[in-house]
């Protein structure tokens, strides 16, 4: 009953004061001692708010692991709750609540299934990041203010040294996953792109160890990312 619960609806989050009274509003840019926090399950129940659990995240900082319930409140509009964008910059909000907002934000990834005239798939063996030493489809994180298509084109150029054109209609898959108990959420856009003629790879030296063409079966066998595997299977 004392487990903290993160309730978000339409970009608004429920906060309470240290006595459990709420809802409370955050103030952007404020500094001072902690006066606001996430409510507990018991406090939410006393407010008469019903909710549906989405998942439990285990968030670790300062050497302590905190279990937080992420849930969807069964209400129409949380008029007096605080905007999550205000919460993150309020120094009087407990750091656990601010960390919960951080966990709730999608990490957007754009990938490309680059196909040559022999129906082979381009893959890169990466030197760093999540899949260091393994083969992946070219791609990576989408920059701020960048469309996933733009990110996909940029990543192919950066990783393989190849210029391509991708139509946003050539989407193969949009996939979402949370891979660990920490709750970091990834949203992946994978596009297909056909390329004609001879292609000379020029891998990015500090990021890519090698780039090579594979048959579809080889690509599936070598792919380290679950997103890559699922997208390739959709092409077969």
Domain count, the chain: 2
Residue 53 φ then ψ, to 5°: -70, 135
176 has a pLDDT exceeding 90 = yes
* Tens digit of each residue's pLDDT (9 = 90 or more) over 210-228: 999 999 999 999 999 999 9
End residue of a domain, out of 104, 123, 143:
104
My answer on whether 129 and 215 are in the same domain is yes
My answer on whether 63 and 135 are in the same domain is no
End residue of a domain, out of 74, 104, 134:
104
My answer on whether 48 and 112 are in the same domain is no
My answer on whether 11 and 96 are in the same domain is yes
Q: Supply the range of the domain harboring residue 173.
A: 106-235
- Read off the CATH number of the domain in which 212 is found: 3.90.79.10
pTM of the model: 0.89
* Tens digit of each residue's pLDDT (9 = 90 or more) over 109-130: 999 999 999 999 999 999 987 8
Which tokens in the block code for residue 91? 């120094």
Size of the chain, expressed as the number of residues it contains: 236
My answer on whether 35 and 72 are in the same domain is yes
Give the Cα separation of 153 and 111 in Å (integer).
9
My answer on whether 229 and 117 are in the same domain is yes
My answer on whether 65 and 17 are in the same domain is yes
Q: How much helix, strand and coil, in percent to the nearest 5, is found in the chain? A: 20, 35, 45
My answer on whether 111 and 86 are in the same domain is no
Q: How far is CA 217 from CA 25, 34, 118, 185, 229, in A?
A: 54, 55, 13, 29, 11
pLDDT band at 208 (very low <50, low <70, confident <90, very high): very high
My answer on whether 113 and 94 are in the same domain is no
* Tens digit of each residue's pLDDT (9 = 90 or more) over 126-167: 998 788 899 999 999 999 999 999 999 999 999 999 999 999
Give Cα 110 distance to the centre of its chain. 11
pLDDT at 198: 87
Burial class (CB in 10 A: 0-12, 13-18, 19+), 74: exposed
The rounded mean pLDDT for the chain is 95
My answer on whether 177 and 137 are in the same domain is yes
């Amino acid at each position: 009953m004392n487990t903290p619960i993160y309730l978000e609806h339409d970009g608004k989050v429920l906060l309470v004061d240290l006595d459990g009274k709420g809802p409370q509003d955050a103030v952007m840019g404020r500094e001072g001692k902690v006066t606001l926090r996430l409510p507990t399950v018991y406090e939410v129940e006393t407010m008469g708010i019903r909710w549906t659990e989405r998942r439990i995240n285990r968030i670790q900082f300062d050497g302590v692991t905190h279990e937080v319930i992420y849930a969807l409140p069964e209400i129409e509009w949380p008029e007096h709750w605080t905007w999550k964008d205000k919460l993150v910059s309020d120094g009087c909000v407990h750091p656990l609540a601010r960390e919960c907002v951080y966990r709730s934000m999608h990490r957007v990834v754009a990938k490309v299934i680059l196909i040559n005239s022999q129906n082979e798939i381009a893959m890169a063996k990466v030197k760093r990041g999540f899949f260091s030493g393994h083969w992946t489809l070219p791609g990576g994180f989408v920059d701020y203010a960048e469309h996933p298509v733009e990110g996909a084109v940029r990543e192919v150029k950066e990783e393989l040294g190849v210029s391509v054109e991708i139509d946003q209609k050539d989407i193969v898959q949009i996939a979402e996953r949370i891979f660990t108990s920490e709750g970091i959420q990834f949203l992946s856009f994978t596009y297909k792109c056909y390329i004609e003629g001879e292609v000379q790879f020029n891998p990015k030296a500090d990021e890519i160890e090698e780039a090579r063409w594979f048959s579809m079966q080889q690509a599936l066998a070598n792919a380290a990312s679950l997103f890559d595997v699922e997208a390739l299977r959709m092409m077969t």
